Amino acid sequence: MFIAWTTVASRADAERLAGEIIARNLAVCVQIDGPVTAVYRWKGQIEHAGEFRLCLKFLPGQLTALSAWVQGNHPYEIPEWIVVPASEVGEKYLSWSGALPTNPPL
């Protein structure tokens, strides 16, 4: 199992991305946190912005399609996209995850 994170500027964007990702079977679960405050440098200026963080859980077979979909549908010019392998996953959660469809609907 993998875990990935991305952020968006509004709850509406977060809900839209999460809903579409689940509808397309690109992840088994998406959690939305926020608002959180991001502090970063953009075009030479220090910025402070409220954002909503999406935490995505997905199986190895979903990685390529999910990454491509996020990059192609994210509202940011340069979206945060960080993916890490889960070093340990509860047996029941992994069993539930594996029972869900992982192929995007046609």
pTM of the model: 0.87
Domain ranges of the chain: 2-87
Quick: pLDDT tens for 17-69.
999 999 999 999 999 999 999 999 999 999 999 999 999 999 999 999 999 99
Which CATH fold would you assign to the domain 2-87?
Alpha-Beta Plaits (3.30.70)
> For position 104, what pLDDT does the model report?
53
The DSSP bridge partners found for residue 33 are 53
What amino acid is encoded at 96 in this protein? Answer: W
- Gap between the Cα atoms of 17 and 96, Å rounded: 22
Parallel, antiparallel, or unpaired for β 45-58 and 29-42?
A: antiparallel
- Gap between the Cα atoms of 90 and 9, Å rounded: 32
